[in-house]
Amino acid sequence: MKRITGLSALALIIAGTSGCGWIYGENGYFRDRGSDYLEARQTATMQLPPNVDAKRIDPLLPVPQQVATTTDKDEYIVPRPQALALAGDASEFSLQKSGESRWVVAQRVPAEVWPVARQFFADNGFQIAEERPQTGEFSTTWQRFDALSDSMARRLSSRVSGVSPDAETRVRVRIEPGVQRNTSEIFVVSAERPAGSTADVAFTNRSSNPSLDAALLDEMLVTLARSAEQGGSVSLLAARDYDAPNRVSLSEDGNGNPVLSLGADFDRAWSGVGRSLEMADVRIDDINRSLGVYYINLAERAQKPDDQPGFFGKVFGSQASKEEIDARAERYQVRLTTVGESVQVTVEKDLNTNAPADLARKVLDLIQENLG
């Protein structure tokens, strides 16, 4: 052991006095091999005996020709990566493209985007013919460009090609939850019919005039971004039309337990119940969307993003501790279950125990009052 220690110390002394050239230098044992690929050469293809029947073998990692014949012998220095843009500099709304498809991505939930997008079309002279907030869609009536607002008609006429001045156009707007949480995607598709025609041309997935859809998306993007810069916001009250179900009824099941039935798909029902609990000042401790459960605590008020203890609260502990909250907690589960084309909402103590009927009815009444 002493011999090994002595040799190690001797190696360190020699390395320190000789500049480590024999270890880390160009010809050292631990030299930098980062540029060795520049010296690589492509070898001949493997040859098989003529009597062997085999599939063609292609080189797995062929050396590019420009590298194999390069005469540059200098050491290559990998450039440093560019700094990422700060998230704060990015707009809440951005235009996305994939082939001929274009859509707007909003860093807001669909319930907040819906009224703003609808208002954009209404302000520019589009007449809303049909709207379905529960599915995030609305469509306009058949109109000529000159029936729109002067500014919109002028911008569309200068940008859109292939549209007769007498032709009529209608637009369908669809707002869907985005891939990322708390985002939305806005799609616009148009349909056209000749002047004087009364045919009800159906919307298709592929637009008949992509340039018109692109122009409308660009105009809407500018308006949405300007609204965000000016501090425009959408309240929960403005979002009620979006996720409010078509039908709401409070009844009882066969065992006498209160059940709230919502005429909506699960996504809209989930959004509406969450919003209603927040408006009713009910504290939500946790959620599990895959199980369709809101975990609530009736002994506490709803948590607000700005509810942070101040300086004296942190020093003197005026805020309730976790132990105190747990001691007085009244925890229940609000469960959403899809039944056919509707969603049923129930209140449970836990997975195997229903909440008392009077308490469950009180919670469901609160949800119903704030749904819309």
**Could you state, in order of their start, the residue ranges of all structural domains in the chain?**
91-229, 244-369
How confident is the model at residue 311, as a pLDDT? Answer: 43
Partners of 130 in beta bridges: 139
How confident is the model at residue 22, as a pLDDT? Answer: 61
Q: Mean pLDDT in each 10-residue stretch from start to end of the chain (372 residues)?
A: 56 56 67 76 77 68 58 61 48 81 85 84 90 82 87 81 76 84 84 75 71 87 77 51 72 90 83 84 87 90 57 48 79 93 92 90 90 70
CATH homologous superfamily, domain 244-369: Outer membrane protein assembly factor BamC (3.30.310.170)
Distance CA(272)–CA(240), nearest Å, equals 8
Please indicate whether the domains covering 91-229 and 244-369 agree at the CATH topology level.
yes
Return the beta strands (E) in the chain as ranges.
93-98, 101-106, 128-132, 137-140, 168-177, 184-193, 248-252, 258-262, 283-288, 293-297, 331-339, 342-350, 353-354
Name the pTM for this structure. 0.46
Task: Give, in words, the CATH class of 91-229.
Answer: alpha beta
How confident is the model at residue 313, as a pLDDT? Answer: 47
How confident is the model at residue 80, as a pLDDT? Answer: 63
Give the type of residue at 267: D
Phi then psi for residue 255, to 5 deg, are: -100, 5
Query: Taking the chain, what is the end-to-end CA distance rounded to the nearest angstrom?
Result: 82
How confident is the model at residue 237, as a pLDDT? Answer: 47
Give the type of residue at 50: P
- For residues 179 and 99, the answer to whether their CB atoms sit within 8 Å is no
For residue 163 the two structure tokens come to 């549209």
Instruction: Count CB-CB contacts under 10 A for residue 263.
Output: 16
How confident is the model at residue 89, as a pLDDT? Answer: 45
Give the type of residue at 234: V
